[in-house]
Amino acid sequence: MTLLSIRNLEVQFKHYEGVTTALKKISLDIKEGEKVALVGESGSGKSVTARMILGLLSNSNIKKNGEIFFENIDLLKESSSQIKQIRGNKISMIFQDPVSSLNPYFTVHKQMLQALENHTKDYDKNTIEKYFVDLLKDVKIEDPERVLNSYAFQLSGGMAQRVMISMALINNPKLILADEPTTALDVTVQKKVLSIMKDVISRKKMSMLLISHNLGVVREFADKIYVIYQGTILEEGSTEKIFNSPGHIYTQTLLQAIPKIYEQLINAKLKRHQNTD
Ligand SMILES: Nc1ncnc2c1ncn2[C@@H]1O[C@H](COP(=O)(O)OP(=O)(O)O)[C@@H](O)[C@H]1O
Ligand SMILES: [Mg+2]
């Protein structure tokens, strides 16, 4: 069954010089339990797509057309209070930079509690800590009690991103949006975090939209891939089809760019001498 269906979504930003069309009538479907990737280079409209789904783009300078059906209701027609009920609850989000997405002043425990209490006050206080510990175990954190009482600066980038993933799971969402979730991490940590994310989402039978500029990153992860370029979906297909017989020349270019991107990441890593985990 289809969980999310974007139909002919057009988004324009009005500014002094004129109008930027960020999305040109894109359509995209995610079924229940399906892991879908949206891939394209920087500026192609990936983040705008995610922000539209979350109802985060709604001021008078933004013109939108089309539909975003989620569980058969059109999110574009919902009031902002109804969208707030859905965001962080039925649809949750994992952002790019985990360390700065966490609040530096609160422990992980406190932030998990806030994520929960944003949507329900009706939970069992005696078992909630165990629930959080189990969520951290779900993302393969071996010392969940320590992590629960830690602050962001005490966590490595990979660890912080795993915490963000478990926070995204708190309200048992139907759909998780992940916008370049591992771009800020070293290449070895990226792979580990993606594989942990894939496992937990598959086990919980959630749906996911993974956004990346790198086709190589989504290969192991996605069932289906959409390729976006300058606000237009150029091609969609199963991951196997996109990799084995890309239909569009732009997709072929993205495929050829994969080894180069990895090379750059590895070189950058050597330069930084960063800790990995
Ligand atoms: N708030 C905004 N106001 C004006 N233009 C924007 C805004 N957000 C995004 N854009 C423009 O929309 C296009 C797509 O941006 P974005 O979705 O962020 O790209 P990316 O694929 O890198 O995530 C870009 O041309 C960007 O400059
Ligand atoms: Mg982006």
Q: What is the pLDDT of residues 45-85, one digit of tens each?
A: 999 999 999 998 888 899 999 999 999 899 999 988 899 89
92, 96, 90: which is closest to 42 by C-alpha?
96
Nearest Cα residue to atom 9 of ligand 1: 48
Instruction: Tell me the two tokens of residue 126.
Output: 């005696």
Instruction: Tell me the two tokens of residue 234.
Output: 């150029």
Ligand nearest to the CA of 22: 1
Q: Inform me whether the pLDDT recorded for 265 exceeds 80.
A: no
Listed in sequence order, the residues at least 6 apart from 142 whose beta carbon sits closer than 8 Å to its beta carbon are none
Q: Which of 100-104, 196-200, 203-207 has the lowest mean pLDDT?
A: 100-104
Pocket test for ligand 1, best of 39, 47, 180, 234 (most atoms within 8 A of CB): 47
pLDDT band at 266 (very low <50, low <70, confident <90, very high): low
Give the C-alpha distances (Å, rounded to integers) separating 207 from 40, 80, 134, 173, 204.
20, 23, 20, 9, 9
Asked whether 175 lines ligand 1 (CB < 6 A), one says no
CA 57 to chain centre: 16
The pLDDT value given to residue 101: 85
CA 119-179-168 angle, to 5 degrees, is 25
pTM of this prediction?
0.91
- Domains annotated for the chain, with CATH where assigned, are 2-97+176-266 (3.40.50.300)
Mean pLDDT, residues 256-262 taken together: 68
Measured in angstroms, how far is the CA atom of residue 85 from the centroid of ligand 2?
24
Nearest Cα residue to atom 7 of ligand 1: 13
